[in-house]
Amino acid sequence: MTSSGLGTLRITPIGLLGTRRARQLVERNITVYRRGWIFFVSGFFEPFFYLLSIGVGLNRLVGPRSVGGHMVAYTVYVAPALLASSAMNGAIFDSTFNVFFKLKIAKTYDAVLSTPLGPSDVTLGELTWSLMRGSAYSAAFLVVMAAFGYVVSSWAVLCYPAAMLVSFAFAACGMAATSYMRSWQDFDKVSLAIIPLFLFSATFYPLSVYPGWLQTIVRCTPLYQGVALLRGLDTGVLSWSLVGHAAYLAVTGLVGLSITARRLATLLLP
């Protein structure tokens, strides 16, 4: 896939980590955040505090939950769902608010295009940075889960790459959506999407408590796919459906990446 002749956007494991030129944009972001590290880590705390509150309080009030016919403690049921939410939070902030600021307000990408970098490099660089942030949140959250004893299966070692897949899907879709936004008011739609996803993607309750029509909608959302994937790996309840969840997230990320590459080429090139 090309962006108006400016290089090739390679959808491969190497391509997703960024080309050499795209990595320069990642290095710029790292330099910017050296003094603003508090903003980098802030999004980690919301799901972390939810996990603490559930472990201290709700776990004593809510009984064990069933995962694939296996009963697990409520904290073990919720923890992988909050891990998926943490991966989502890490990816979505940079791929939406920060990309919009650089694109529309600071005109950072206009300056970037005066260098050898092209729109495809911007796409890969920003996606890589968002993925790095989501991966950092996921790694920290997994350490907390392990420390509290919420990791109950050896298959949980796959939770980290699975969480990275969640971050990839949301980073790519977030950037694609941001490319269509015209003002800060449009970001109300981001909150309107993220909050219901967090609350209703089988994060705290099984799908069976929802009406049938709502179950169908929830099953089609990317966060639910991530929650189901991470919950199955963490508890060791494996089935072929986990492959389907992973494929859904991968395809969602690739589609979002494709849309972003085309949109940025249209917006940035004269």
CB 81 within 8 A of CB 231: yes
| Phi (first) and psi of residue 183, to 5 degrees | -150, 170
Tens digits of pLDDT across the chain (270 residues): 333 334 444 444 434 434 677 888 888 888 877 776 666 566 567 677 777 777 666 666 777 888 887 888 888 999 999 999 989 988 998 899 889 999 988 888 888 888 888 888 889 999 999 998 889 889 988 988 888 888 999 999 999 999 999 999 999 999 999 999 988 888 888 888 898 999 899 998 888 888 989 999 999 999 999 999 999 999 999 999 999 999 999 999 999 999 999 999 898 886
Instruction: Name residues whose C-beta falls within 8 Å of residue 178's C-beta, 6 or more positions apart in sequence.
Output: 95, 96, 99, 100, 103
166 closest CA partner among 90, 220, 244, 67? 90
pLDDT of residue 241: 94
* Domain chopping of the chain, boundaries: 37-118+127-268
pTM of this prediction? 0.85
pLDDT of residue 70: 83
HSE (side-chain half, CA atoms, 13 Å) at 261: 23
How does strand 70-72 pair with strand 65-67? antiparallel
pLDDT of residue 2: 39
CB 170 within 8 A of CB 91: yes
Cα 201 from chain centre:
14
Please identify which residue in the block is written with the tokens 């960024």.
Answer: 18
Please identify which residue in the block is written with the tokens 């994060």.
Answer: 203
At 65, is the secondary structure helix, strand, or coil? strand
DSSP annotation of 35 reads S
pLDDT of residue 232: 94
